[in-house]
Structure formats: C-alpha cells, structure tokens
Amino acid sequence: MVQSHFNGSHFRNCSPNFRGERQERYTLKFQNKSDIDQTIHFIIWVFQKKLQYWILYFLVSLERMKKALIQLHIAIFLAGFTGVLGRLITLNEGLLVWYRLLITAITMWVLFSLTKKLQKISLKDILKISGVGVIAALHWVTFYGSIKYANVSVALVCFSSVSFFTALLEPLFYRKRVIPIEVLLGLLVIAGIYIIFHFDPKYKTGIIVGIISAVLIAIVMILVRQFVQRINSETFLTWQITGAFLGLSLLMPFYLHLFPTNYIFPSPQEWMWLLVLAWFCSVIAFQFSTKALKHLSAFTVNISYNFEPLYGILMAFALFGENKELDWSFYVGLTMIILAVALQMWRVWIQSKIRSINSTSRTKPD
C-alpha cells in the first residue's frame, strides 16, 4: 500500500545526509509502479473533490448574490415609488405623512415584537432616536410638499442634492475636514438644480421646499451613524418612526392652522395607497434591504440607492407623462446631476478598491 511507504522512518531516510544502501532501498521502493499510480490517483481524486467543492460554493454564492441584488433593487424601486404615491394621494402633505407614520409604526411594533427583533435600549437612546425621527418626519413633509407644489420629477431632482449637503454638514457635526471633491460634486448638483430653477420659475416653491427636504434628510443620515453600530436596524427604525409620529402629532394642530385643508380623512382609494406606502414602500422595502445586506456589502447597498431618484423620475414619466410638462432646462439640469452622482459612485468605488489592496498588502506575511 502507498501508506506503508510514507511513515516517519521513511521521511528520516529522505534527509539530505543519507548515503549508499539506504538511498538505494528508498529509490527502489519509491519507484514501485503500483505505489506511484495509487499516489497519483489519490492526488487527482483529492483535487477533483476540492475543485467540485469550490465550483459548487461559487455557484451557490453567485445565486445568493444575484438574489440579493434583485431584492436590493426591488427595495430601491419601492423607495422610488413613494414619490408617485405622493401624487396619487391628494391629502395635505402633513396629513399624508401622519397617516403613513401611524400605519408604519403600528405595523413595525407588531411585526418586530412577534419576531423578537426589538432589543432593549436606554431611555436616553430612545429620546435621541425619537429626536432624529422628528427631523425625518419634517423631511417627509417637505418632500411631499415639493411634489404638491411642483411634481414628482422636480422633488426627486432636489432629493439628489443630499450628497452635497452631507459633504458640507458632516464636518460640522463630527469635526472632520471638508473633502473638496465631494463639495465640488455637490456644487455640480446644485448647478443642475439652479438651471432648472432659473429657466423654469413655475417650480420655484417646489424647488425651495425640495432643497429644505434634502438638508433635513442629510442631517438625519449624519445623526443615524452614531446608533447603527450598537443598535439593530429593526429597533432603531421602530423607535425612529414612533418618534416621528409622536413629534408630528404634536405639530399637526399648528400645521393645519397654517396650511388649512378641506378634508382630513382619506377616501377609500387613498387608504389603499396609504397602505401601499406604509407596508410596501416602508416595511417590506426595509425587509428587502436588510436581507440584501446579508450577502452584499454596505458599500454596494449605499451606491445602489443612488438609483432611487432615477427610478422615481422614470415612473413619473411613464405614469403621469411629466416629461411633457418639463422643458429643456430640466433635462440639462438632470444630466448634470446624473453626472455628479456617477462621478461620486466611481470615486467611492476606486477608494474602496485602494483600501482593499492596502489592507491585503498589510496582512501579507513578510
């Protein structure tokens, strides 16, 4: 058998110091054709098994990644669909957000309590997260206000300026240095919005409200980072939505006094759209994003969400024919914004590759 020729004494015989009879005996035994054939067959068998394992592993990983990418883009599509629903629901923007938060908060408390995904957190964290929720609620109100005063496409174009305001505000919150390239790319977005604003003044109010909405969500995204490392996403989102609902409930009497409306109760059809907005565009979209994160990097998810405004604009074109309402200035401005987003995605991708190469080189043994 092959095994009998690979014992400990045999390896000692293979040392560089052996001479004469030992060398002759070793050579004769190792050249036994039957043993050599068995050894070769054994090595080939091991190689085949390993190759089969890695091919199977690769195919399974590829299938999981493909499924995760599909789930991610469904979540992004649903997020982009919120703009369309903002036009379909004729409620005052404040009431629209209030009903959405009410349905979403109840759903999340029931769903995440039953699945035992809510973790206990301190009262201090609850108050902080609720405060972030109030800012998020104001973002949603101004976002849907931008849709009401302009249209879905203009509101989503303004939403694209979030990266610019994040680049400006994040150094103020965390005392980091300003990254010039991010500011320049953000200014390209603002230039695109200015072209739309300057040459098509009928959307003036909608653009101003949309810019306010972008500033508010930039602040939310900056503040969220202090919680995500130690609080799971289900707990954070549930308390954020709850805080948003409670905060907006306190503000609603003043809001309705400043912006009175003829009716405050949704029609049966609007209830249907509100359920779609709360369940599909909030809860289910969140579930898809969470599942996608199990097989995709956070970098891939964050980069992919840059497609949200584009999906929303294309849906608005298809469903409402908004492309017929817009003149050449919109398309020039939109092109500049898409260019800025594409350059930012490329820049972040290059940075991630450089970090990956550096970390690999540091872990290599000398």
Contact 85, 273 (CB under 8 A): yes
In angstroms, the CA 312 to CA 2 distance is 68
pLDDT at residue 273 in the model: 96
Among 143-157, 196-210, 302-316, 338-352, where is mean pLDDT lowest? Answer: 338-352
For tokens 């110091």, what's the residue?
A: 17
Select from 258, 342, 265 the least CA-distant residue to 306. Answer: 342
Residue 19: how many CB atoms within 10 A of its CB?
Answer: 7
Ramachandran category for residue 119: left, alpha or beta (phi over 0 → left; psi -120 to 50 → alpha): beta
Select from 290, 270, 297, 271 the least CA-distant residue to 108. Answer: 290
Higher-confidence residue of 22 and 125: namely 125
pLDDT at residue 28 in the model: 43
pLDDT at residue 54 in the model: 63
In angstroms, the CA 73 to CA 192 distance is 26
Among 25-29, 56-60, 64-68, 140-144, where is mean pLDDT lowest? Answer: 25-29
Select from 163, 192, 162, 186 the least CA-distant residue to 336. Answer: 192
Is 9 a residue whose pLDDT tops 70?
no
Average pLDDT, the chain: 81
Is 20 a residue whose pLDDT tops 90?
no
In angstroms, the CA 101 to CA 94 distance is 11
Ramachandran category for residue 175: left, alpha or beta (phi over 0 → left; psi -120 to 50 → alpha): left
In angstroms, the CA 237 to CA 231 distance is 10
Distances (CA, A) of 182 to 136, 185, 205, 340, 348: 23, 5, 27, 9, 10
Q: In this predicted model, what pLDDT tens digit does every residue of 351-362 receive, in sequence order?
A: 777 777 776 666
3-state secondary structure 26-66: HHHHHCCHHHHHHHHHHHHHHHHHHHHHHHHHHHHHHHHHH
Tokens of 215: 């500033």
55: pLDDT confidence band, cut at 50, 70 and 90? low
Mean pLDDT, range 183-194, rounded to an integer: 82
97: pLDDT confidence band, cut at 50, 70 and 90? very high
User: What are the residue boundaries of the structural domains of the chain, listed by start?
Assistant: 79-354
